[in-house]
Structure 1
Amino acid sequence: MRTKIIILGLVISIFFALLAYIPFGFHSLSTPPINHNILIYFFLVSLGLLISYFTAYQLIKKEKDQKIFRIIVLFALIFSVILILIPPIGSADVFNYIFRARIHTVYGENPYLVATGGFKSDLFYNFSPQEWNYLPMQYGPLWTSISIGFSYLAQDSLFWNQLLYKLLALLINFGIIFFIWRILGIISPDYRIRGIFLYAWNPLILFEGINNVHNELLMIFFVVAAIYFFLKKKYLFCLLLLLFSVLIKYITILLFPVFLLFLWKEINIPSERVKIFVKAAVVLLIVAVLSYFPFWEGTNIFQGLLGQSKIASFMNLSLFPSFLFEFILSLKNILMLTLDQIMKIVSIGVMIVFALIYFWQLRLIKQKQDDFIHRNFLILFGYIIYAACFLQPWYFLWFLPLAVLINKKYFPEFVFLFTLAGLLSYTFMVMSIVLVVFFLALLFTSFFTKKSYFSPFLGFH
């Protein structure tokens, strides 16, 4: 059994190494590289990765020896080193991080107020995605501070700037593996090996987290760490870690009510509740103020976030926004609407629907037997499915690390399905089509098999 897993680990290593042919073999200068030959090549490599990943999981399911953990982690390290050595393929976001930090370190401006578009002579201008150059910094101040620190260390070196981010991603990834191992040891020891494997060998997580260096990995690291310390009843520290996640990327602010409601349920003594909540409010406020202090120039520092929130694209609509868009589009001639107007209606409509679903999810937390990790997963996954109007494959990093923690029916299949969807989106270029096809396939399968494949992922019970 171990020999077969080692062989599959070597096969996956080869497939990851083959990704290096995309920038070097095709001599592609763009990120992501776009031409038909590259897309076909990437599709074949992705297919090889997914088949190997799935086959290895079938073997891991039968493995009872906990020592297999070492093999899983060793190969996770090998995969990561390979992806560190390959230039970013699927996204140029890391260059955007570097360039935005240079607004402060090189030009002495506030990156939350000054966009990168005015610095065309900068060394990193042509590396950074041009479509984002009009927008000031949209991430949280903790991520901005990390980026500025890297910029001071690496200065004008393209090599060292990239390497610092990739080394950070490597450390974060193994930090997540550590906390997943610890969490599963508490909640589901028998599922430990399978859960670790699903995360550590996941091709999409490795590709987006290590090769493309998306800050989603650090954001979700703090969420996973916060979940662990919540389970260990270190409530103040868990809320602080969740705040760190929000200060990387704001979307996880949606999880604060979940944590607080479960915390309210956990602490039965009223005086202890008051003590914890007051102490947490003071500590979190101080940390938030200190984080924003170097950049604060009024509420204008949120203009980048506001600008990004208005971005919507038909090619990047998620599942529910796609259906709503098509429905309104079918009424286009009757309603006399332009495509821009339709997109605005869709953007507002999906946020209203998600808000209703969100508060319904919070209401369900009052149930005594509600699952803490599952509810956090449902919130982030729900936003992706119901509200995302500019969905990217790396956004799946928001919920996949939580999905591997849930030892429930269909969750391993869910992880495989969305790993496949994320990788296929690079080949077919239209995320909405990939998700709609998958949804319809599941719907028909559910109808003919008379099994509910959706209920564990919708959470209306």
Structure 2
Amino acid sequence: MSFFNKYKNVLLLFLSIICYFIFAYFIERTEFTKLIFLWFTVFGCFYMLVKSNQISFKKLIAISVIFRLIFLFATPNLSQDFYRFIWDGRLIFEGINPYLSLPKTFIQEGLKPVSETSVLYEGMGNLNGSHYTNYPPLNQLFFFIAALFYSKNIFGSIIVLRLIIILADIGILYFGKKLLEKLHLPIKNIFWYILNPFIIIEMTGNLHFEPVMLFFLIFGMYKLYEQKWIFAAILIACSVSVKLIPLLFLPLFFQWFIPIYKKIETNKMKWFGFKFQPKKILQLSCFYSIILLINLLLFLPFYSQKLIENYSSSVGLWFNNFEFNASFYYIFREISYLFRGYNEIATIGKITPILTIIFLLILTFFRKNTSLKHLFTAMLFGLCFYYFTATTVHPWYLATPIILSVFTKYRFPIIWSFVIILSYQAYKNLPWQENLWYVSFEYLIVFMYLIYEIKNKKTKIR
């Protein structure tokens, strides 16, 4: 026992490296049983490493980097989205607007607009290749950078994309630590994100660009804390231009500029209001205007009459067509089958965003969001409400709730990142098919822990 205690961290590190090496080079997403076993093993190691008092902060940083570098020369085997990233980047490299064409059309017409056209199309799959790209302009810039270095080599492009994501995570670590210090929170909290196997595998391994979006967001929040709101607006605009998700957070910044006060009358009725401060209102208006203007300017090089139509139709697919790993939506869908006899996704997909907007407005005007801690908590719950009602929740979406939770007292996103692997059961079947028992079990655990945190720990959404 003494030997184990003495070398426990070394053994955990060694076991983690083996697991990550297998994840990177020796497993497919159809191998669900192996996937589950490795996932649970590496998560157990992760938890014990983070909780260990014998490992210094600097050593944990080194370990986090080492785990990511294991994937450096690996071709993603749990996701095929990177083929579309490379495709879009090479189209720009060739002077072709990626927002105006379908990969499927080039294939049908026998055209080869980029190097390795057939390989890229086969890799992305017919489903991905049959809809317009939905990646915002700044994200496209990073795809273009990969093409700039390697326009005829997929493997080289993968390495460039992966290095960008690793650098983004290092940036999150740097500014995340500084924010935790400013908020008087344990700086070790950052490792719930940086050392999380989910983040390492889904982001560094599978090349999803959430870390780049989150780098700009966390950097922006740090500048907001420093009261440099113009710089913060620029950074948050960049975050939106990598992934659209931060758009959901914009209403929540209202109280950062214009604090709402609560007045309690003699009849115990609560009234809410805010002082009319022209300077603060002007700052808020400029803050929103900067974010909007920068995103419009970034789209400008790609502008054409078809751009808005194509882009909106692609984004709309996530609300009206796609279904994956949903929670409440699947309940709504079963109710629609019961009463209507068919899937009402077109209707439900339009209602759930409205519910999200209403919930965000409630968070904006009926709770206190004047401190950064309060703001992070509101962002966390606003985003998770959207995910809980969405028709599609791919695993990599959880990166944002995880980093937000680091700055709050809630850890249910960490639990969610642990059980999200159950969604991979769908890929066990060819063609893929979800088993809703697995989905139900995933969300049962998440909601139970969420309720535990709110009720049993006597916490509040504040």
Structure 1's 141 and 348: CA in aligned 2 closer, same or farther, altered over 3 A? same
Rate the CA distance shift 1:95–1:236 in 2: closer, same or farther, 3 A: same
Equivalent AA in structure 2 for residue 240 of structure 1: I
State whether residues 147 and 157 of structure 2, in contact with CA within 8 Å, keep that contact through their aligned partners in structure 1.
Answer: yes
User: Is the CA contact 2:151–2:157 (under 8 Å) kept in the aligned structure 1?
Assistant: yes
**Mapped contact 2:133–2:314 kept (Cα < 8 A):** no
2:21 to 9, 17, 28: 17
Q: State the alpha-carbon separation in 2 of the partners of residues 242 and 451 from structure 1.
A: 29
Select 1:113's aligned residue among 97, 100, 103. Answer: 100
Determine the structure 1 residue equivalent to 2:337: 329
Q: How does 1:182-331 map to 2 (within 5 A)?
A: 182-189=178-185, 191-193=186-188, 195-265=189-259, 270=277, 272-273=279-280, 276-277=283-284, 279-280=286-287, 283-284=290-291, 286-298=293-305, 300-311=307-318, 316-331=324-339
In 2: Cα distance, 1:68 partner to 1:12 partner? 18
Secondary structure of the corresponding residue to residue 128 of structure 1: helix
- Following superposition, the deviation at residue 323 of structure 1 comes to 1.7
**Aligned counterparts of 1:219 and 1:171: Cα–Cα separation in 2:** 12
C-alpha deviation, 1:315, in angstroms: 5.5
1:372 aligns with 2:375: yes
Q: Which of 336, 349, 364 does residue 351 from structure 2 map onto?
A: 349
Secondary structure at the residue paired with 1:100?
helix
Structure 1 unaligned residues grouped into runs of 5+? 24-32
TM-score (norm 1): 0.83
Uncovered stretches (5+) of structure 2, i.e. residues with no partner:
261-273, 428-433
From 437, 441, 445, the counterpart of 1:437: 441
Q: Is this contact kept in 1: 2:423–2:439, CA < 8 A?
A: no
Alignment partners' CA distance in 2, 1:454 and 1:117: 52
Are the counterparts in 1 of residues 134 and 311 from structure 2 also a CA contact under 8 Å? Answer: yes
Which segment drifts farther, 198-207 or 295-304? 295-304
Q: Is the 8 A contact 1:314 1:322 kept in 2?
A: no
Could you give the per-residue CA deviations for residues 139-175 of structure 1, whole angstroms, max 9, x where no partner exists? 2111112222321221111121111100001100111
Partner of 2:362: 360
Matched, 1:85 2:73: yes
Which letter maps to 2:415?
Answer: L
Aligned residues: 428
Aligned-partner Cα distance in 1 for 2:37–2:43: 10
Residue 156 of structure 1 aligns to a residue whose secondary structure is coil
Q: Structure 2 CA distance, aligned partners of 1:280 and 1:73?
A: 34
Matched, 1:161 2:157: yes
- Residue in structure 2 matching 1:136, options 132, 136, 160: 132
**How far is 1:415 from its partner?**
3.7
Cα distance in structure 2, aligned partners of 1:5 and 1:34: 29
CA apart distance, 1:319? 1.5
Cα deviations by residue, 1:284-303 (Å, 9 ceiling, x for unpaired):
45533431221011363452
1:186 aligned partner, one-letter code: K
Residues 1:70 and 1:110: Cα distance change in structure 2 (over 3 Å) = same
What is aligned with 1:48?
41
Match of 2:357, as an amino acid? Answer: A
Amino acid at match of 1:53: F
Identity percentage of aligned residues: 18
Question: Whole-Å Cα distance in 2 between the matches of residues 16 and 196 of structure 1?
Answer: 20
Find the counterpart in structure 2 of residue 103 from structure 1.
91
- CA deviation digits over 1:91-115, x for unaligned, max 9? 1111111112222323x32111111
Cα distance 1:405–1:253, how it changes in 2: closer, same or farther (>3 A)?
same
SS in 1 for 2:393: coil
TM-score by length of structure 2 reads: 0.83
Contact 2:369 2:375 survives alignment (8 Å)? no
Contact map agreement 2:104 2:129 (CA 8 A) in 1: yes
1:221 counterpart letter in structure 2:
F
Please report how far the alpha carbon of residue 20 of structure 1 lies from its aligned counterpart in structure 2 after TM superposition: 3.6
Contact 2:24 2:205 in 1 (8 A): no
Alignment partners' CA distance in 2, 1:451 and 1:273: 33
Mark the CA change 1:352 to 1:257 in structure 2 (over 3 Å): closer, same or farther.
closer
Counterpart code for 1:206: I
Alignment-mate amino acid for residue 276 of structure 1: Q
After superposition, the C-alpha distances for 1:245-298 in whole angstroms (9 at most, x for unaligned) are 111111211111212432223999935425534654564455334312210113
Distance in 2 (alpha carbons) for counterparts of 1:364 and 1:432? 36
Measured after TM superposition, the shift of residue 77 of structure 1 is 0.7
Which has the higher mean CA deviation after the structures are superposed, 350-359 or 260-269?
A: 260-269
Residues 431 and 148 of structure 1: CA distance in aligned 2, closer, same or farther (over 3 Å):
farther
Q: For the structure 1 residues 297 and 343, does the alpha-carbon distance in structure 2 shift closer, same or farther, using more than 3 Å as the test?
A: same
Call closer, same or farther: CA 1:255–1:456 in 2, change over 3 Å.
Answer: farther
- CA spacing shift, 1:162–1:364, aligned 2, 3 Å: same
